[in-house]
Amino acid sequence: MAVTTTQTNKPFNPRGNDQSPKGYNRAALYSGKALDFDGVNDQISIGSANFLGLGTGSFSFAWYINSTESADFKCIIDYRHTSGIGILLDHRLGGIGGALQTAEGNFAFDITSATSSVSGDVFDGKWHHVVFVADRSTSNTRVTFYIDGQLHYYDVNTNTQTSTIEDGQQMYFGSQDSTQYVDASLSSLKVFSTALTAAQVADLYNNPEKVVPTGVDNTALKLWLPMMEGAGTTAYDGSGNGNHGTISGATYVNGVGAPVSQTAVIDWNKGTNVIPYSEQFDQWSTFTGSSVSANTTTAPDGQTTADTLNFGSGSESLVFQNYGSGSATFTSSIWAKSSTGKKFTFRHWNGTTAIRSDEFTTTSEWQRFDFTFTDPLVNVGVSNEDNGSTGSIEIWGFQLEQASSVGPYVRTGATAQTSPVLLPQGLTSGRDITGVNLFENVRKQGALNLDGNSWAEVHKNDSIPEGDEGRTLECWFFGVDRTHTQSYMETGNNSGTNKRFAILTIPSNVIYIAGQIYDINTGTLADLNAWNHVVVTHDGSTAKVYKNGSLINTSSRTYTTALDTVSIGRNLNNAIETSNGSIAQPRIYKRALTAEEVQRSYDSGKNIFTNS
């Protein structure tokens, strides 16, 4: 039997009840906007002499571009001294190219003369993520272009080129020092003082919420202009280095949108919890003198749902919950605390012997403890320490997963959550536009603030219900009065009758379930300028709609949706039904939640969103 134990200190809710998403506007960071350059006289000028300090080292540039530019030498990035020393990236000879000039000479590169190239085009009128890497770790500079995370071409200078390019003057984005203006929409310029690897480039592309890819130190980010302010003539530097750009003529446009930036806003994770009653230990069995007092204290999520587990004097005093049977690698976890430093163990049962973790010592603060083991499993429990002693601990949020590490917490009621639930993972790294580090757990509480044009997508995967499978769509949305329909989240698509399953509000602000003909008009108004918790469930034959924990409609319906992208914030098939409101904590279950589960989910979020 392989057993590992870990103890972590991860406050679930470090800000207590002070975590209203209304106070944290992510739209400024991920508004889906970009700057459009007219190709005549638009540009951004950035910084002052030597502000990047690239020196003799390697460096990388990353940006988004949408352009049909066809003229050679129309410039995207110019960071050169008047002597010509520096770097130039532009359109040349049919594609993306450029030149690196040092005292040893000029190394010009383009796709037609590249050492190795892969088909693809930056200038095709679609959004692309472009990364240019200059690897100067050897005397022969190697330059590489990546488009949408994939290698586009690379070239190697056959001549030695080792001297500095540190004496660049201002950087220009969109022109070559006020000439050769490019006709393009551009967004999110980043400069790193390191050569990004192919994996790091792919990491940036696939996880665009990451400001800095995994494996790169934050200090390597020398410049980051999100260019998503939406107004004004300053493009703020999010690297924290204060090299803000001055916008000259360029115009804000919408549409970086999905699938580039907006997918990043809600990064999805999957979670399971195969044990029921994860927060209701009074529904668990007791053994050897133990007892449970329900709802005695404030839980990590701010609700008074944590229980007190009172141990008896025996060494096997515990509470336990049946799992069933099965052999696998499991990880169990629980939040626990006590004012007495009381110890406890995970005590599970494989049908023959006990499976015990090491002893954990609780403190007066909530901590999440976890225990990974590989064994057959019959039931799980929480016990006093080996030698047994009376005392009590506060407990909340038990989770059992078939996994080798602890995952995102999934609440359960009477039904175990055996199939993965899509959960918003939230952002885990990065800084805001003023350079302030954003604390992970704060970011997780943020809402997706929509602007009437932006939206999010979750690409289809096996966690999304299809056909007539049972399902639940759940979200909090901030009601905003509009003259047209607003779609908050949906599965399926518009391909035919009952092929779509979507939470909407229609112009009268009535909560509405769209199913392509099989619609449900709940007749219940969404609250305007307030957060609404809406859940719609479907068990294959009946659809139920809940608002703020209360059932508002039951209708006989059978939806048979195709497996397709989940759209959040607009109609999947058309750029319509967009929302100006905000959406938080969207979840998709592959089964119909019970009324009790819906109520508990509402209760867990209501103080965050409604302060009630």
The residue ranges that bind other proteins (CB under 8 A) are: 36, 38-43, 71-73, 84, 88, 99, 101, 106, 108, 176, 178-181, 183, 233, 246-251
| Whether 546 contacts 451, CB under 8 Å | no
In whole angstroms, the minimum distance from the beta carbon of 48 to other proteins comes to 18
Nearer to other proteins, 38 or 466 (CB): 38
CA–CA distances in Å: residue 20 to residues 67, 464, 580? 39, 29, 18
Q: Which residues contact 119 (CB under 8 A, 6 or more apart)?
A: none
Nearest distance in Å: CB 503, other proteins: 37
Burial class (CB in 10 A: 0-12, 13-18, 19+), 332: buried
Q: How far is the CB of 295 from other proteins (least distance, A)?
A: 58
Query: Residue 36 or residue 279: which is nearer to other proteins going by CB?
Result: 36
To other proteins, the closest distance from the beta carbon of 189 in angstroms equals 18
Tell me the C-alpha distance between 425 and 446, whole Å.
Answer: 11
Longest dimension (CA), the chain: 84
The CB-of-178 to other proteins minimum distance in angstroms stands at 7
- Residue 611 tokens read as 């302060």
Q: How far is the CB of 156 from other proteins (least distance, A)?
A: 19
Q: 82 or 574, CB closer to other proteins?
A: 82
In the bound complex, what is the minimum distance in angstroms from residue 257's beta carbon to other proteins?
20
Phi-psi region of 428 (alpha: psi -120 to 50; beta: other; left: phi over 0): alpha
Residues 213, 170: Cα–Cα separation, whole Å? 26
User: SS3 breakdown of the chain: % helix, strand, coil, rounded to 5?
Assistant: 10, 45, 50
β pairing state of 566-568 and 456-458? antiparallel
* Nearer to other proteins among residue 251 and residue 521 (C-beta): 251
Burial class for 475, CB neighbours closer than 10 Å (0-12, 13-18, 19+): buried
Comparing CB distances to other proteins, the nearer of 94 and 507 is 94
Q: Which is nearer to other proteins, 39 or 492 (CB)?
A: 39
Instruction: Of 65, 64, 103, give the one whose Cα is nearest residue 83.
Output: 103
Spatial neighbors of 414 by CB under 8 A, at least 6 apart, are 276, 277, 283, 594, 596, 597
> Which one, 248 or 441, has the nearer CB to other proteins?
248
**112/437 with CB nearer other proteins:** 112
Structure tokens at 4: 């590992």
d(CA 316, CA 386): 8
C-beta of 247: minimal distance to other proteins in Å?
A: 7
Instruction: Identify which of residues 252 and 277 has a Cβ nearer to other proteins in the complex.
Output: 252
Minimum CB–partner distance for residue 99 and other proteins (Å): 5
